[in-house]
Amino acid sequence: MMNLSSLIETDIEEYLKAHEQKSLLRFITCGSVDDGKSTLIGRLLFESKMLFEDQLAAMEADSKKWGTQGEEIDFALLVDGLAAEREQGITIDVAYRFFSTDKRKFIVADTPGHEQYTRNMVTGASTADAAILMVDARKGILTQTRRHSYLMSLLGIRHIIVAINKMDLVEYSQARFDEIQAEYAAFAEQLGLQNVTYIPLSAFKGDNIVEPSPRMPWYAAPQYHGESLMNFLETVEIDDIRMQRAPFRLPVQWVNRPNLDFRGFSGTITSGVVKPGDRIRVQPSGKESEVARIVTYSGDLEQAVAGQSITLTLKDEIDISRGDVISIAEAPAETADQFESTIVWMHEDALLPGRPYLLKIGTQTVTASITDIKYQVNVNTLEHTAAKQLELNGIAVCNINLDRAIAFDDYQTNKDTGGFILIDRLNNTTVAAGMLHFALRRSQNIHYQHVDVNKEVRAQAKGQTPSVLWFTGLSGAGKSTIANLVEKKLHALGSHTYLLDGDNVRHGLNKDLGFTDADRVENIRRIGEVSKLMVDAGLIVLTAFISPFTAERRMAREQLAEGEFIEVFVDTPLAVAEERDVKGLYKKARSGELKNFTGIDSAYERPAAPEIHLDAAKLSADEAADLVIAELRKRGIIHG
């Protein structure tokens, strides 16, 4: 039978049709620095005849200028495109390359080997079906080999090829290959890695890349894999095929409503198979129905499988929105709002427990916060260590809390419904990638209890509108003084109030917290929760805290109803606040005795649009308090 390549000359339409129907394998190359990852990819591109003549000419010229292989072509230069990569001879960013053979299409990600680029490696590996772990035959198993192996196990990559490279530099020694294979097999067992394949090769010379190498006849023995690398890549099972055997999941991306007579639910099937007549469950609501039609642009289908984009119509009219997950009824996804998860932190600013982030999982976006870092993982030794925050490239097992229940599967079962990213709410930067393990038991057992005497009833009895006056500003700005005067004036008017002062609260509720960024976030989180309870009790709450971070002030605001949070910015220049320095704190901070002091060595993020802005450098405390009272009357919070 004519092979696909020859069809290009004889029947281009038939070739394109056959090319469309090929399966697609995504894989990564990883390993320690200078183990030959980029060279291997360059060799695969060369051997699969995916290079044009001008590319070959450019590579030959670049090899003379940048290459490390003498007069030979340096295949690594096909992938290492950044100037810094060529100058240093290392991979920094993730480079994606496409190539194909007669049997399959491929997308390969060349990932960095250096520890400081762990986040880049995780990004490249997140969608991979397989991984090629490069090992230099001269050096054997290194720290970075173990690091990347741990990350592969964490990310659920099911097919791992340990490519023992540079066999030409150890004279194609069978004994050396056996030694490395035995050492890695023992480590893989610790990680629980399965489906590990060992292939000896030379990416530079081309041994065992496309065809079995005559230089290693011993590799054909029954105890070895025996196949070339290309043959393995062409035949290994793809994740999409495996996911077709899993329970049906369709995260709803769009409610398709082109006219009054049609209502469908569109998305990409992440796992399983669906047919008209199948009983489904919509989550997290739990409502059930039956599939009526499977609609596509090309017409209705009798069956749809994982990887296909479709629109489902149902026999019943039920409420479904973007972010919901349609599951097969007999094996539905779980639902919860609290989880244990593993998080890989990807931002220069540390992860702080208690700080709110956006969590995107599938087509759903919710608000989330890390409630507890259970332990950080040292990926070099696999040791578990305590941590109060997580720095760039850190990996930790954490408890996470969401503002609503979501449908999910554990990550190892389904990457699409178990993997998520965290997004900074202020600038929309992706700050972390995460993997859900399981729902915390308390999320299933703790529910809101209905009460008959609610906030409205309590407020009516007190004749006021409950709210929070959130005083923020530098230390020494006058927050406590002004808040105290405002409370006195409110009390004189007959209002029911309570003042939460920063120093007073740290004698009791928050006595266990220090002044690191992580502790400051937790300090304000607790105050926000207490304020919410007091508003529910019908009170006017006054809080006097530096509360230096915008994210935490926003978190406190979003816990309350519209109009219940009034931010009062006591705006005092640093020089004025430092001149007052009643407690001598600025003096201690300047001398180095007091660390993490706001305004000196810890940032204060000014409110962008506070409801009340007090220029404390020009106003007396009493004048400032009167302005606050006037604003409360204007807003209808007090009536006296």
Residue 35 is labelled as binding a ligand: yes
Residue 110 is labelled as binding a ligand: yes
d(CA 541, CA 524) in angstroms, rounded, equals 14
- Burial class of residue 450 in the structure, from the number of CB atoms within 10 Å of its CB (0-12 exposed, 13-18 middle, 19+ buried): exposed
Residue 31 is labelled as binding a ligand: yes
The secondary structure of residue 195, as a DSSP letter, is: S
Catalytic residue among 213, 285, 547, 620: 547
pLDDT value at residue 278? 96
Of residues 95 and 578, which shows the higher confidence score? 578
Question: How much of the chain, in percent, has pLDDT values that exceed 90?
Answer: 48
Least confident of 87-96, 142-151, 221-230, 547-556: 87-96
Query: Buried b / exposed e across 592-619, counting CB within 10 Å, b at 16+?
Result: eebeebbbbebebeebeebbbebebeeb
Residue 477 is labelled as binding a ligand: yes
Residue 37 is labelled as binding a ligand: yes
Residue 480 is labelled as binding a ligand: yes
Residue 369 is labelled as binding a ligand: no
pLDDT digits (tens, 9 = 90+) for 485-534: 999 999 999 999 999 988 888 888 888 888 887 888 888 889 999 999 99
Domains of the chain: 17-238 (3.40.50.300), 246-328 (2.40.30.10), 335-439 (2.40.30.10), 455-635 (3.40.50.300)
DSSP 397-413: EEEEEEEEEEEE--TTT
Q: Is the pLDDT of residue 51 over 60?
A: no
Residue 213 is labelled as binding a ligand: no
Q: Is 547 a catalytic residue?
A: yes
Question: Cα(first)–Cα(last) distance of the chain, in Å?
Answer: 94
- Confidence band (pLDDT; 50, 70, 90) for 574? confident
Residue 581 is labelled as binding a ligand: no
Residue 532 is labelled as binding a ligand: no
Q: Which helix (H) or strand (E) holds 497?
A: strand 497-501
Helix, strand, coil % over all residues of the chain, rounded to 5? 30, 30, 40
- Burial class of residue 155 in the structure, from the number of CB atoms within 10 Å of its CB (0-12 exposed, 13-18 middle, 19+ buried): buried
CB–CB of 306/246 below 8 Å?
yes
- Confidence band (pLDDT; 50, 70, 90) for 301? very high
d(CA 439, CA 401) in angstroms, rounded, equals 10
pLDDT value at residue 462? 85
- Confidence band (pLDDT; 50, 70, 90) for 5? low
Residue 114 is labelled as binding a ligand: yes
Residue 479 is labelled as binding a ligand: yes
pLDDT digits (tens, 9 = 90+) for 215-273: 999 999 999 989 999 999 999 988 878 888 999 999 999 999 988 889 999 999 999 99
Instruction: Look at residue 121 and give its three-state secondary structure.
Output: helix
